[in-house]
């Protein structure tokens, strides 16, 4: 059952898929998930904006949306939709390299699947602290 799949619905620079899958597995295992099925889908800005409107009733651009598909708390089953265009913009905006920004967005999506939220200042701070922990400890994963 343990599987990480990657799909492309939009042209994206070559991703080192094995490294992306390894990063996902490391985060999931370190958070206690021994059973998981995760799909990462790269889409364009417009598709992600439409999804944000449809599923969250928010008409705005975003970089990542995550859907937890599991009813069973003992395993994680989820989909993470990512806009690579937004990652490029974020890397320029936050003055970080694009690989680090992609790592952060992937970890951010996984944390949402695990139940982390960022809808208040305190929850966002906790989530960012957890992202920083993973990025510091798993920085060896070059994804591009």
pLDDT of residue 14: 84
pLDDT mean across residues, the chain: 91
Helix axes 84-93 and 98-113, enclosed angle (nearest 10): 120
pLDDT of residue 111: 96
User: Over 80: is that where the pLDDT of 1 sits?
Assistant: no
Lowest mean pLDDT among 38-42, 129-133, 134-138: 134-138
What lies within 8 Å, CB to CB, of 71 at 6+ separation is none
DSSP for 24-41, please give it: HHHHHHHTT-SSEEEEEE
Length of the chain, in residues: 144
User: Over 80: is that where the pLDDT of 141 sits?
Assistant: no
pLDDT of residue 143: 84
pLDDT of residue 12: 79
Q: Of 122, 142, 33, which is closest to residue 78 (Cα–Cα)?
A: 33
Q: Band of the pLDDT at 138, cuts 50, 70, 90?
A: confident
Q: Band of the pLDDT at 132, cuts 50, 70, 90?
A: very high
**Residues 73-92, mean pLDDT to the nearest whole number:** 92
Rg of the Cα atoms in the chain: 14
The Cα-based distances of 117 to 29, 43, 136 in angstroms read: 20, 22, 21
Q: All domains of the chain, ordered by start, with CATH?
A: 3-137 (3.40.390.30)
The CA distance from 63 to 85, in Å, is 8
């Amino acid at each position: 059952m343990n599987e990480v799949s990657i799909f492309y619905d939009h042209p994206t620079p070559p991703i080192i898929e094995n490294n992306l899958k390894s990063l996902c597995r490391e985060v999931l295992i370190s958070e206690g998930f021994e059973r998981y099925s995760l799909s990462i889908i790269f889409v364009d800005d417009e598709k992600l904006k439409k999804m944000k409107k449809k599923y969250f009733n928010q008409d705005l651009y975003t970089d990542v949306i995550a859907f937890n598909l599991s009813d069973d708390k003992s395993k994680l089953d989820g989909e993470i939709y990512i806009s690579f265009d937004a990652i490029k913009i974020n890397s320029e905006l936050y003055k970080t390299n694009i690989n680090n920004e992609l790592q952060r967005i992937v970890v951010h999506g996984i944390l949402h699947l695990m139940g982390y939220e960022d809808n208040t200042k305190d929850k966002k701070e906790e989530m960012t602290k957890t992202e920083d922990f993973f990025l510091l400890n798993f920085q060896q994963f070059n994804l591009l």
